[in-house]
Structures are given as structure tokens and as C-alpha cells.
Amino acid sequence: MTEFDLKLIERIRTGDEQSFTVLVKSYTPYVYRTVFALLQDRSEAEDVSQEVFIKIYRSIGQLGNPHAFHSWLNKIITHTCLDRLKKQYPTPIADSELDIVSQETSQQLDQHLLIRDALQRLSSEYRETLVLREWQGYSYEEIANILGVPVGTVKSRIHTARLQLRKILSEGEREKEW
Amino acid sequence: MECQECLERMSEYIDGELCNFEHAEIKAHLISCQNCQNVAREFQMLQERFQRSLENSPVPIELEQRILIAVEQEQQKVSKQSVFTLITLVLLGSPLLLLLPFLLRIVHLFYATGYAFWRVKTVLLMLLPTTTSWGIGVTSFFLSVFGIYMIRALLRGSRLKEVSL
């Protein structure tokens, strides 16, 4: 966390509205990308990003240590997204079903679009676990706590997600070569 | 170590989730096995591609503005709520102020009754023999404890506790 960020948080905590605008401008890309990675829906990602900033605005006064801002922000993003996902999928999906990967043909897109497309094809359980690990940098134990599942499940989800991602990407690349 | 075991633990290895011994075991296997080494490299590349892809994903131009408008609306809502709370407090406080003399009268009545009881008890204790005084004192103590216990038991069953939580 940079010195600028720390000062910014301090100023926001003293009630400086202008500093909150600066925070919104600096963190919107990160918040949106994380939310989009978890939800894979642009319009939902926009709504949830907005919700995340409102939550920050309401509760930044309760943040004890400004150095913990990043992990606090990540917690807000993750929990808001998981709540949204729970509303989308009220019934739990059996692990056997999670192994099914969409067989649709990959579009002829560039590398970034290809990986985004591949991510979209993963089931929400695999995707959220992988995003928490790869993008937000949580440890397996932290992910287990966030998702409320055993560490063993996190291990297998991450590993299977990577295998599926690798498979989808290689299929997509093969189709692209044709 | 077998390739199968190494491949199964590859993600944990890449993520640094293994203990030193297991990490060293897989590292040693990777040196000797080209196939597993390729998988490890592919997983690492996948991580990099994943991160790069997210870093490059476009952010809607108007989103920042939308968020700022929403925050501004939230600020207005908060200030409106503060005014509303203040008005509510005044409205609730006014009847309380009007009732204050009456409430004070009741408090005074309780105090006067308690004081009268205290006086009676003191006089009685002075008049009665020591054993009887002790008996009354101990009985009063136990009755008080029992009374407190009963009040707690009554409150536990009521909605009062739910509100306080």
C-alpha cells in the first residue's frame, strides 16, 4: 500500500468528501475487474461495483487500521459478489455437475478474450475459487473461510479449475488455428 | 515420487501451499521429469495469462461517474436521516419532559417507601435479640437473591431480551 493511499484513507476518515472522489477514481478499475471476474456479467458487475463503493463509504469509519485497507476492500468485494451469486443460484450444485464444461465452440478472439471466454465457461464455484486465488491472492485457508468449505475442497476446486481452463484454452487455440 | 502424485499436487506446489518437505520432493521430481516440468510451466503461464487478462479487461467509461452520483445520493440520504433522527428525538423527548414532574413524584414515592421500610427494619433489629436479627438478615439476603433470579427467569422468557440483543 502506497503512502498516497494511506494519506487518502486518513483524509476520508476525517470526513473529506473530495478524497473519497479520488478513491473512487483510483479504485474503480480494480473493483470492477474483480467483480466482473467473479460474476462474469457486465451489467451485474457495474451494479455490484457501485454497491461496493457505497459500503466503503458507509463503513470506512469502522476500519481500525488504514494499512489493512486492501484486505478490507477485498473482503467487501468478495462478500458482496458471493451474496449476489447466492441470489442467482439458490440451490447448491453437486460436485459431479461441476465437472461438466460447456462444449460450445470458442470464438475467434485474441488471447485476452479467449481467457475471459474460458473463465466464463467455468462453473461459478470453480471460477470464484480461482479468482480468489489468482487475482485476489488469498491463501487456501483464507478461501476456505470465505467460502465456508473445507481446505480440501478449495485444493481440488483450484486444481480442477486450472485443468479445465487449460483444456478450454487449448481447444480454443486449436480452433483459432483452423 | 510418481508422476500421478506430482501432477495431483501441482497446484499446491505452484501456489506455495506445501510444507518444505513436500515442496522439495516435487521440486526434485520436476528436475528429473520433463513431462511434469511442462505441466508446471503451463500452470505458471496460465496464472500469468489469467492476471494479464483481468488487468486488461475494459472498464465502462461512465461507471466512475455512476458510482460518484450514487455516493452523492448516499451522502444526501445520510444527512436527511440525521435530520429525521433529530426531529424524532425532539418529538419523543417533549412528552417525556412534560411527564418529568410526574415521573419524579413516582421516584420520590419509591424512595420514601424504601426509606420507611429501612427505618422499620433498623428499629426491629435493634429491639430483637441477636440470633433473630441474624436470621432475618440472612433470610432477607436469600430472598433478595431469589427475587433477582426470578426476575431474570421472567425476562428470559419475554421479548425484552430479544430487543436488547
- Is B38 near chain A, with CB under 8 Å? no
Thinking of the domain A3-88, which architecture would CATH place it in? Answer: Orthogonal Bundle (1.10)
Residues B49 and B78 in one domain: no
Give the closest residue to A136 by CA, choosing from A71, A45, A67, A55: A71
Which of the listed CATH numbers 3.40.20.10, 3.90.1150.10, 1.20.1280.50, 1.10.10.10 matches domain A95-177?
1.10.10.10
Range name among B5-14, B90-99, B155-164 with the lowest pLDDT average: B155-164
* CB contacts, 8 Å: A24 with chain B: 64, 67-68, 71
The 10s digit of each residue's pLDDT in B14-43 is: 898 988 888 889 888 888 888 889 988 988
Q: What is the mean pLDDT of chain A?
A: 80
d(CA A140, CA B12): 9
The Cα of A37 is separated from the nearest Cα of chain B by a number of Å equal to 7
Q: Binning pLDDT at 50, 70 and 90, where does residue A156 land?
A: very high
What is the reported pLDDT for A109? Answer: 46
What domain range includes position B38? 3-55
Asked if the Cβ–Cβ distance from B46 to A20 is below 8 Å, we say no
Q: What is the mean pLDDT of chain B?
A: 84
Angle (CA) A7-A9-A13 rounded to 5° is 115
Find the CB nearest B53 among A112, A130, A140.
Answer: A112
d(CA B76, CA B70): 10
Asked whether residue B133 is domain-assigned, the answer is: yes
Q: Is A46 left (phi over 0), alpha (psi -120 to 50) or beta?
A: alpha
Find the CB nearest A54 among B43, B60, B70.
Answer: B70
Percentage of residues of chain A with pLDDT beyond 70: 82
Q: Binning pLDDT at 50, 70 and 90, where does residue A31 land?
A: very high
- Is B46 near chain A, with CB under 8 Å? yes
User: Mean pLDDT throughout A90-111?
Assistant: 45
What is the reported pLDDT for A32? Answer: 92
Residues B9 and B42 in one domain: yes
pLDDT surpasses 70 at A113: no
CA distances in angstroms from A163 to A178, B82, B93, B124, listed in the order given:
23, 54, 66, 89
User: Mean pLDDT throughout B82-95?
Assistant: 86
- Is A120 near chain B, with CB under 8 Å? no
Asked whether residue B60 is domain-assigned, the answer is: no
Residues B20 and B39 in one domain: yes
Cβ B41 vs Cβ B10: under 8 Å: no
- Is B70 near chain A, with CB under 8 Å? yes
Asked if the Cβ–Cβ distance from B57 to A33 is below 8 Å, we say yes
User: Mean pLDDT throughout B78-83?
Assistant: 84
Tally Cβ neighbours within 10 Å of residue A116: 18
Q: How many domains does chain B have?
A: 3
d(CA A101, CA A127): 12
Which residue blocks in B3-129 are alpha helix, DSSP H?
3-8, 10-14, 20-32, 34-55, 63-127
Asked whether residue B61 is domain-assigned, the answer is: no
Range name among A7-11, B63-67, B75-79, B153-157 with the lowest pLDDT average: B153-157
pLDDT surpasses 60 at A9: yes
- Is A159 near chain B, with CB under 8 Å? yes
Percentage of residues of chain A with pLDDT beyond 90: 20
Asked whether residue B123 is domain-assigned, the answer is: no
* CB contacts, 8 Å: A134 with chain B: 47, 50-51
pLDDT surpasses 80 at A163: yes
- Is B45 near chain A, with CB under 8 Å? no
User: What are the domain boundaries of chain A?
Assistant: 3-88, 95-177
Which residue type sits at B90?
V
A90 vs A82, residue with greater confidence: A82
Asked whether residue B27 is domain-assigned, the answer is: yes
B4 vs A88, residue with greater confidence: B4
Q: Binning pLDDT at 50, 70 and 90, where does residue A141 land?
A: very high
Of all residues in chain A, the one with the smallest CA distance to B48 is A134
Residues B96 and B135 in one domain: no
Residues B7 and B50 in one domain: yes
User: Which of A32, A58, A60 to probe by mutation at the B interface, max B CB count within 10 Å?
Assistant: A32
d(CA B27, CA B36): 10
